[in-house]
A and B are shown apart, each in its own frame.
Chain A
Amino acid sequence: NAGVTQTPKFQVLKTGQSMTLQCAQDMNHEYMSWYRQDPGMGLRLIHYSVGAGITDQGEVPNGYNVSRSTTEDFPLRLLSAAPSQTSVYFCASSYSWMTNEKLFFGSGTQLSVL
């Protein structure tokens, strides 16, 4: 059972480039989310989805887009990368949108924007 799979593990971008971070889960989870982790700031929620076709903003959504066309996939798009987006990105999912459910995390994507 793969759980939550994130690709790529590492990525270096130049300012202004675009890219998509991939996230897939094979547990039929309703809820999926993206966090960024920065030193001293913990994890901050970027966007989340409570089901296919339904997304909403988290704490720090600016500069990021998401869509959810299937239950399994929840890609995160950076349209024009900025150095401030250098971070470690985690995708997380849970069985339902009920907030007492635990989150399952992927292993992360380390992104550097030069």
Chain B
Amino acid sequence: AQSVTQLGSHVSVSEGALVLLRCNYSSSVPPYLFWYVQYPNQGLQLLLKYTTGATLVKGINGFEAEFKKSETSFHLTKPSAHMSDAAEYFCAVSDHTGGFKTIFGAGTRLFVKA
């Protein structure tokens, strides 16, 4: 069965600094990978997704993620943090093994300091 591990429940960066949120996955077949963002008191919305093809995926709001099969990782980055990036970020994996399921990590809360 697929699973997702997000390293670090909380990450704090200064405004303008690099954002790096880590995600490792487990899947017995080539997976589909996603990053979602949740702003306070809202549902989740998609930042970006990897299906097949190019391993560097660009998303909304300047975020990007790189799929590294050898490391089973899909880390999320943004070169320069903005105050509006403060939110909770979820990595997710899906494949067809064991049913049609998207499985989420525990989430990483990003704090941005002025």
Contacts and interface: CB of A to CB of B under 8 A. Distances in A.
The answer to whether A and B come from one shared complex is: yes
Interface of A: 4, 31, 33, 35, 40-45, 48, 50, 56, 58-59, 90, 92, 97-100, 102-103, 105-108
Kindly name the residue among A98, A99, A100 whose own CB sees the greatest number of chain B CB atoms within 10 A.
A99
A45 B45 contact: no
Interface size class of B (residues with CB under 8 A): 20 to 34
A42 B90 contact: yes
Closest 8 CB pairs of A and B: A105-B43, A99-B94, A42-B106, A43-B104, A102-B46, A100-B32, A100-B51, A42-B104
Contact of A90 (B34, B43, B100, B103): B43
B104 A35 contact: yes
Interface of B: 6, 9, 32, 34, 36, 41-46, 49, 51, 90, 94-96, 99-107
Nearest to A107: B43
Contacts of A108: 41-43
A32 to B, nearest CB: 11
Given A90-B43, A90-B44, A107-B43, A100 B100 contact: no
A45 B107 CA distance: 15
A51 B95 CA distance: 18
A77 B2 CA distance: 27
A33 B99 CA distance: 12
A102 B43 CA distance: 13
A106 B38 CA distance: 12
